[in-house]
């Protein structure tokens, strides 16, 4: 089985982003970029399945600017076999990403696509579900455990009330939650090796997908800030303030 893993280049999770003063968006110039944390988890899961003999090849794909090649190289350094960059400078919404991924799936015929639960920039949490819909495949979202059987996968999902386990027929789309695994770091020799691994370049037009936005962004603004309050000296003072000043007890 081949596993396809989409990886997105996003602002590093440690960076506190700034909104541009003119409200046109978020400042992305000179900001540290990294692989979306959930996608690192996806790559790790795919590699573990390969190491366990459940998969033969791990292909990573990113839709984004030329610099997204760095993100793909990171995935290759972790151990992925091959990469595809679908190059565009447009901001591509989840629906269009899913349509492009559908095209990649039709070309590559993977038995499993492992997608991140959400991208930490748009916080959309849509792409995997949309891809499954477009392919008419089953989806196992927010996975904290994945077991691959003969023609099905058993997926334990993190849901509001606890955990739910489902069986999904393969081929399928799985989306990864934080507790699925702990991603490995790429070793230096593997980083060097990754530079020579194959990377194919495509464009959205190759898949006949328009990247025109369906959601018009009218404005981007800072959230209402919260000010630091006061420090209290003791538990007694805290309880007193919560009762009389805040009125919440």
Ligand X SMILES: Nc1ncnc2c1ncn2[C@@H]1O[C@H](COP(=O)(O)O)[C@@H](O)[C@H]1O
Residue numbers at the binding site for ligand FAD (CB under 6 A): 13, 37, 120
- The pattern of x and - marking residues 32 through 71 that bind ligand X according to CB under 6 A reads ----x-xx----------------------xxx-------
- Which stretch in 89-97, 158-166, 180-188, 193-201 sits in contact with ligand X by CB under 6 A? 89-97
Contacts to other proteins from residues 76-105, by CB under 8 A: 93-95, 98
Q: Which of 127, 139, 141, 181 binds ligand X (CB under 6 A)?
A: 127
Residue 92 lies near ligand X (rule: CB under 6 A): yes
Q: Considering the complex, what minimum distance in angstroms separates the CB of residue 14 from ligand FAD?
A: 8
Report d(CA 9, CA 99) in Å as an integer: 18
Q: Considering the complex, what minimum distance in angstroms separates the CB of residue 179 from ligand FAD?
A: 11
Contacts to other proteins from residues 135-164, by CB under 8 A: 136-142, 144, 154, 157-164
Residue 16 lies near other proteins (rule: CB under 8 A): yes
Q: Are strands 152-159 and 138-148 parallel, antiparallel or unpaired?
A: antiparallel
Which residues touch 185 (CB under 8 Å, ≥6 apart)? none
Query: Quick one: how far is CA 44 from the chain centroid?
Result: 12
Report d(CA 180, CA 156) in Å as an integer: 9
Contact 174, 117 (CB under 8 A): no
Report d(CA 127, CA 15) in Å as an integer: 24
Q: Considering the complex, what minimum distance in angstroms separates the CB of residue 78 from ligand X?
A: 14
Q: Considering the complex, what minimum distance in angstroms separates the CB of residue 244 from ligand X?
A: 44
Residue 141 lies near ligand X (rule: CB under 6 A): no
Q: Considering the complex, what minimum distance in angstroms separates the CB of residue 219 from other proteins?
A: 4
Q: Which of 32, 52, 216, 244 binds other proteins (CB under 8 A)?
A: 216
Phi-psi region of 34 (alpha: psi -120 to 50; beta: other; left: phi over 0): beta
In the three-class reduction of DSSP (H, G, I as helix; E, B as strand; rest coil), residue 235 is classed as helix
In the three-class reduction of DSSP (H, G, I as helix; E, B as strand; rest coil), residue 29 is classed as coil
Q: Which of 126, 139, 141, 156 binds ligand X (CB under 6 A)?
A: 126
Burial (0-12, 13-18, 19+ Cβ within 10 Å), 114: buried
Report d(CA 127, CA 115) in Å as an integer: 8
Which residues make up the interface to ligand X (CB under 6 A)? Answer: 6-8, 36, 38-39, 62-64, 92, 94, 97, 115-116, 118-119, 122, 124-128
């Amino acid at each position: 089985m081949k596993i396809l893993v989409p990886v997105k280049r996003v602002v590093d999770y440690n960076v506190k982003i700034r909104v541009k003063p003119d409200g046109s968006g978020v400042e992305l110039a000179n900001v540290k970029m990294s692989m979306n944390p959930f996608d690192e988890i996806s790559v790790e899961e795919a590699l573990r399945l390969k190491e366990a003999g459940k998969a033969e090849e791990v292909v990573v794909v990113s839709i984004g600017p030329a610099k997204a090649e760095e993100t793909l190289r990171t995935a290759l350094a972790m151990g992925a076999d091959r990469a595809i960059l679908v190059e565009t400078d447009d901001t591509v919404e989840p629906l269009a990403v899913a349509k492009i991924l559908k095209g990649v799936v039709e070309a590559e015929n993977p038995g499993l696509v492992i997608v991140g639960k959400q991208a930490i920039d748009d916080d959309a949490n849509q792409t995997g579900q949309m891809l499954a819909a477009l392919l008419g495949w089953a989806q196992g979202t927010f996975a904290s455990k994945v077991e691959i059987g003969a023609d099905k996968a058993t997926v334990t999902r993190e849901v509001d009330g606890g955990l739910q386990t489902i069986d999904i027929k393969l081929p399928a789309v799985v989306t990864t939650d934080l507790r699925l695994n702990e991603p490995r770091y790429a070793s230096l020799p593997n980083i060097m090796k990754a530079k020579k691994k194959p990377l194919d370049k495509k464009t959205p037009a190759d898949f006949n997908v328009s990247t025109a936005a369906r959601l018009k962004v009218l404005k981007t603004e800072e959230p209402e800030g919260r000010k630091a309050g006061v420090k209290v000296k003791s538990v007694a003072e805290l309880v007193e303030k919560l009762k009389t000043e805040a009125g919440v007890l």
